[in-house]
A and B are shown apart, each in its own frame.
Chain A
Amino acid sequence: MNEQRTVHPDEERLLAWIDQPATAPEGAALQAHLADCAECRRRAEGLEAFLAALGSASPAPGAAAFAAQRDRILAALPDRAVDRGVVAALLGWREWWVPSLAAAGLAALLVAGPGFRETVPNGGTPEAALPVQAAAQAAADEVFELVGAVEAVSTEDTSPLAGEAVAEPLAATAMETVEETPVFAELGVEFAELSEDEQAAILEDLSNTTFGL
């Protein structure tokens, strides 16, 4: 005859379950066991009581002590050399507009590529498209340079000099780049004027790119 042996959880498992019931290994089985086993339930309750006692073992200073501490902290703060609001804004928006800038640069490169040269608007020949390609390349270089400079400001250089001399013009140029897509303006065309195939090619390239510059 098969006799089923009851396995009682050790302290480690009980603690893991009390600590994080949702993620404890075999949590559901353990909960079912606790429902049936008074001894283990008592052990679990004891552990819970212990953790509660742990939480009450800490003294706290009074309000006067905290007020005095606040004054000491404020007195110890060094002055700020410059207003770094622009750098702060750059950091806050970095995740959004750095990829946008990268997208603008990639669009410029795509437009400058051989596919576009052969289908330049207004029925132009490949030779006639060369200045357009050069302009697009220059625009792309400018955007990529901008992205690199912005990355440097965002990740490393947050010095006061960077805050004043670099961040502000970068922020202004970045916003202009994103909002007005100067790449297309410089080429004398608008995205909407491109053929559906050209638009699709650009969008596909951009969507397939992870912007890992």
Chain B
Amino acid sequence: MDDTDLVRQARGGDKAAFGILVERHQARIHATLARMTGDSDLAMDLSQDAFVRAWERLDRFEERSAFSTWLYRIAVRLAYDSLSRRRRTVDVEIDASLPDSGEPAADERLVAEATAADLRRRIEALPDLQRAVVVMRAWDGLPYREIAEIMDTTETSARVSFHYAIRRLREGLTEATSR
């Protein structure tokens, strides 16, 4: 049974059908939110909220896009709003952990020496919009048009955010590996 059939059953109150949708999409949603938040446990909580919200809004889903796309938008928006709220209440020293940009080292060496944990830490330190755009573009392969729509911004802004974030990440890693 495809997603469309399951969604129609779920609209009628069939929780078992919705459970199948959860099983199909929870890993991808979690992965996206974990990259955005840098916290796997928080991503589990947020993705749970996203599924419950999707259930509550199933009647508004007009089937103009795939269910997975619609759900992804709800989840990303939820995570972004959560991050923004957290930023407002907690004073996070982002730049203190990042070195100034230095001369680029050989990329091969850079990649070899960059640990996944270090990269994750640096992604977490990116401003919220840049981090969200990097996740959507670099991992999930969304076009800038769709990213802009989800983030309520322009395609140009999404593109610039992505380029700026990549440059910032590379510069930070270059400095770290050349010490």
Contact = CB atoms under 8 A, between A and B. Distances in A.
Interface of A: 11-12, 15-16, 19, 42-43, 45-47, 49-61, 65-66, 69-70, 72-74, 76-80, 83-85, 87-88, 91-92, 94, 158
A130 to B, nearest CB: 44
A58 B31 contact: yes
B111 A53 contact: yes
B116 A80 contact: no
Interface residues of B, number: 51
Contacts of A73: 19, 22, 26, 48, 51-52
Given A53-B111, A70-B26, A158-B59, 8 more contacts: A15-B163, A15-B167, A19-B137, A19-B162, A60-B27, A61-B44, A80-B11, A83-B13
A72 B48 contact: yes
Given A49-B108, A73-B52, A60 B63 contact: no
A74 B15 CA distance: 7
A83 B62 contact: no
Contact of B163 (A12, A77, A83, A88): A12
Contacts of B116: 56-58
Contacts of B120: 57-58
B18 A74 contact: yes
A109 B154 CA distance: 43
Contacts of B111: 46, 49-50, 52-53
Interface of B: 8, 11-13, 15, 18-19, 22-23, 26-27, 30-31, 34-35, 40, 44, 47-48, 51-52, 55-56, 58-60, 62-63, 106-108, 110-111, 114, 116-117, 119-120, 123, 134, 137-139, 159, 162-163, 166-167, 169-170, 173
Nearest to A42: B107
B13 A79 contact: yes
19 contacts: A45-B107, A49-B107, A50-B107, A52-B111, A55-B138, A58-B35, A58-B116, A58-B120, A60-B31, A66-B23, A69-B30, A69-B44, A69-B47, A70-B23, A77-B55, A83-B12, A85-B12, A88-B8, A92-B63
Contact of A46 (B26, B55, B106): B106
Contacts of A53: 111, 114, 119
Contacts of A15: 163, 166-167
A182 to B, nearest CB: 28
A52 B110 CA distance: 12
Main secondary structure of the interface of A (DSSP, over half): helix
B15 A77 contact: yes
Contact of A74 (B22, B159, B173): B22
Nearest to B165: A54
A42 B106 CA distance: 9
Q: Which of A11, A46, A76 has the most CB of B within 10 A?
A: A46
Contacts of A61: 30, 40, 44
Given A11-B167, A15-B166, A85 B11 contact: yes
Contacts of B166: 15, 47, 50-51
A47 B120 CA distance: 17
B37 to A, nearest CB: 11
Contact of B107 (A47, A80, A92): A47
Contact of B34 (A12, A59, A83, A158): A59
Nearest to B56: A78
Nearest to B160: A12
B59 A91 contact: yes
Nearest to B115: A57
Given A60-B31, A66-B26, A77-B15, A88 B119 contact: no
Contact of A51 (B23, B35, B138): B138
